[in-house]
Structure 1
Amino acid sequence: MLVASGRIDMFRGFFARMIIELIALDGMMASGLAITADLVETANRLRGQAGRTRLFSLRLSGAGAGAAGVFLNLAVAEADAPPADLVVVPGLGFATPDALAAGLARPDVQAAGARLAAAVGGGAEVAAACSSVFLLAAAGLLDGRRATTSWWLAPVFARMHPQVRLDPDALVVRDGPVTTAGAAMAQMDLMLQVVARHGGPGLAQDCARLLLLDQRSSQARYMAPGFMAAADDRIARAEAWARARLDQPFTAAEMAAAAGLAPRTFARRMARATGLSPVGFIQRLRLERATELRETTRLSMEEIAARVGYADASTLRRLMRRVGAAGRRG
């Protein structure tokens, strides 16, 4: 039996239960809702095993709350319910810029944004993952703040909300009363942070062990440069050219020529499509291939470095550690 541990946990039982409001909207990824409910329930059960009171109370709101309530066996917030301490919006499931624009214009989505703004105005915390981070930005809750979002939506977010200090590599970012998370499954990491903050790190660690959840801090290793490059046919052409010669040294200017673009035009279009500089994009391609070789072959790091254009294996190791892609062999 796992029991929540840690010195901080000793004092949590004296505090009132934290009310978490989970906004459910039509089309939202069910996994984000379920992850939130499962982590909250796991934390409460572990406290019960330790002879302590339940720390969290979870309820639903939003246009999709009725259906989600049946699915998750959760109560829907009543109009006269006490105010929430934390309002959470999992990923909305908008995978493309066009789908995002259409989704953000929906009345139920705009109502959710207003709910988040009202929550912060009333002294509550708010949190969002994936494309739902755009709701926080549209409500003005991220102005001047540091935030993250899904890595493939980061270029779109940066263009739409230049007033936000975006960190696309980060998995979870907390700035004041606002917490943001990366791609959809980062909802798990977001909720683990909530549990750690309000129940102590020991409780969060026990939840992670019980549910077999890895501790992560960055989404950089999951970024697929080819996925982002596909947004621009010239950048996609340059990407294909580069992939064919990753074992060779080449410059950003040569890559621009392969795309049929002047270097400055190439750099602008690269940034718009991927959020990266040409040099940064080349590095991502090399690291992606190196990680694949590291995880699927028995090649030494020296051999892998040579295959992805690095003369020095120590340089490759350092870069892989920086993005959390050192990788253990299976």
Structure 2
Amino acid sequence: MTRITVLELPGRMASSAAITHDVLATANRVSLAAGRPAPFEVRTLACTGSRTRAPASGTDLVIVPGLGVDTEEALLARIAAPDCRRATHLLANAARAGASIAASCASTFLLAEAGLLDGRRATTTWWFAPLFRRRYPEVALLTDQIVVADWPVATGGAAMAQMDLMLAVVARFAGAGLAKACAGYLLLDDRRSQAPYMAITYLAGQDAKIAKAESWVRRNVARDFTVEELADAMALSPRTFARRVTATCGLSPIRFVRRIRIETARFLLETTKLPVEEVARRVGYADGSTLRRLMRSDGQRSPAAFRR
């Protein structure tokens, strides 16, 4: 049996905590119904300050539901608060004792503060990605991933990525078959990317030059142009432009342009009756097959799915 401690902080997202307990309870029920032992023993630990005790000895996994913050200022204030500083120490100590650690959304910052993500792959809430990169340069951040399971540490993306993270936990500690059964009982879809939900305008707006580049791409989206031409329009060298796009949006210049083209295509598919071939031409692609391939590879659905 895997012994799990759910570390719940004041101000946590109620939905994230509920999802954690619901998925683990479902895994136990499904397993018992099949005549097998329950795979998880779950404890809840409230982290409220200096009096908070450490996770029980023998804990195999500590899970941290998402923090309920939505701005950089609120997040920075939150992780500096005494209860979060205490949680950071608890996580570091639990990891040293051999426990695995999992967190999603803004709680991934606590793992990074504890040094648990240095030299590892991780993900986080997509709109906090620029702050995460600046603050934790030693972490290989994969912004568009919903879950990055780099065990013994696993991280999830924004808010409802806690569902995906919990299925990864079930698969890791109780088997892929049970994780699939839980997904079926709870009607959870197989989601692999945050990309369809990432607002490129929001990310680009954090750097004036990149915001200007985004506007330039949208004005020129129907024609073919090079990254060098785009960088020159911003009065930047291609190297400097690439560095700033990556720091701001977590994308290479080519993927930055592609994301804007696909976002524009999606809007046209959802709001007009233009044929897919015409939509492709209006966003700078020679034919509909290219648009279909790129939309799928970027974590989106097919053009036909948006049209429906």
Q: Same fold (TM over 0.5)?
A: yes
Q: Give the Cα–Cα distance (whole angstroms) in 2 for the partners of residues 165 and 80 of structure 1.
A: 28
Residue aligning to 2:3: 19
Q: Displacement, 1:86?
A: 0.8
Q: Displacement, 1:256?
A: 4.9
Picking from 55, 58, 73, the partner of 1:83 is: 58
Indicate conservation of the 8 Å contact 1:62/1:108, yes or no.
Answer: no
Q: Give the Cα–Cα distance (whole angstroms) in 2 for the partners of residues 42 and 31 of structure 1.
A: 16
Task: For 1:1-330, list aligned pairs within 5 A.
Answer: 16=1, 18-63=2-47, 81-252=56-227, 255-256=230-231, 266-295=241-270, 297-327=272-302, 328-329=305-306, 330=308
Q: 1:95 to 1:212 in 2, by over 3 A?
A: same
- Structure 2 letter corresponding to 1:152: W
- Structure 1 letter corresponding to 2:149: R
Residue aligning to 1:71: none
Indicate conservation of the 8 Å contact 1:62/1:112, yes or no.
Answer: no
Q: 1:79 to 1:107 in 2, by over 3 A?
A: closer
Q: 1:52 to 1:277 in 2, by over 3 A?
A: closer
Indicate conservation of the 8 Å contact 1:237/1:258, yes or no.
Answer: no
Q: Displacement, 1:262?
A: 6.5
Question: 1:146-193, CA deviations, whole angstroms, 9 ceiling, x for partnerless residues?
Answer: 111122222222222221222222221122311111112111101001
Q: Give the Cα–Cα distance (whole angstroms) in 2 for the partners of residues 312 and 60 of structure 1.
A: 54
What secondary structure is seen at the aligned counterpart in 2 of 1:88? strand
Q: Give the Cα–Cα distance (whole angstroms) in 2 for the partners of residues 278 and 80 of structure 1.
A: 44
- Structure 1 letter corresponding to 2:256: F
Q: 1:288 to 1:125 in 2, by over 3 A?
A: same
Q: Displacement, 1:269?
A: 3.9
Indicate conservation of the 8 Å contact 1:148/1:170, yes or no.
Answer: yes
Q: Displacement, 1:215?
A: 0.6
Indicate conservation of the 8 Å contact 1:291/1:326, yes or no.
Answer: no
Pick which of 155-164 and 248-257 moved more: 248-257
Indicate conservation of the 8 Å contact 2:55/2:94, yes or no.
Answer: no
Q: Give the Cα–Cα distance (whole angstroms) in 2 for the partners of residues 315 and 115 of structure 1.
A: 49
What secondary structure is seen at the aligned counterpart in 1 of 2:69? coil
What secondary structure is seen at the aligned counterpart in 2 of 1:326? coil
Q: Give the Cα–Cα distance (whole angstroms) in 1 for the partners of residues 141 and 205 of structure 2.
A: 22
Q: Give the Cα–Cα distance (whole angstroms) in 2 for the partners of residues 170 and 222 of structure 1.
A: 11
Q: 1:36 to 1:296 in 2, by over 3 A?
A: farther
Q: Displacement, 1:260?
A: 6.6
What secondary structure is seen at the aligned counterpart in 2 of 1:311? coil
Aligned residue-pair number: 303
What secondary structure is seen at the aligned counterpart in 2 of 1:325? coil
Q: Give the Cα–Cα distance (whole angstroms) in 2 for the partners of residues 326 and 190 of structure 1.
A: 22
Indicate conservation of the 8 Å contact 2:47/2:86, yes or no.
Answer: no
- Structure 2 letter corresponding to 1:231: Q
Indicate conservation of the 8 Å contact 1:149/1:182, yes or no.
Answer: yes
Q: Give the Cα–Cα distance (whole angstroms) in 2 for the partners of residues 80 and 224 of structure 1.
A: 38
Indicate conservation of the 8 Å contact 2:231/2:238, yes or no.
Answer: yes
Q: Displacement, 1:126?
A: 0.5
Q: Give the Cα–Cα distance (whole angstroms) in 2 for the partners of residues 31 and 146 of structure 1.
A: 26
- Structure 2 letter corresponding to 1:61: L
- Structure 1 letter corresponding to 2:35: G
Q: TM-score, normalised by structure 1?
A: 0.82
Q: 1:112 to 1:252 in 2, by over 3 A?
A: same
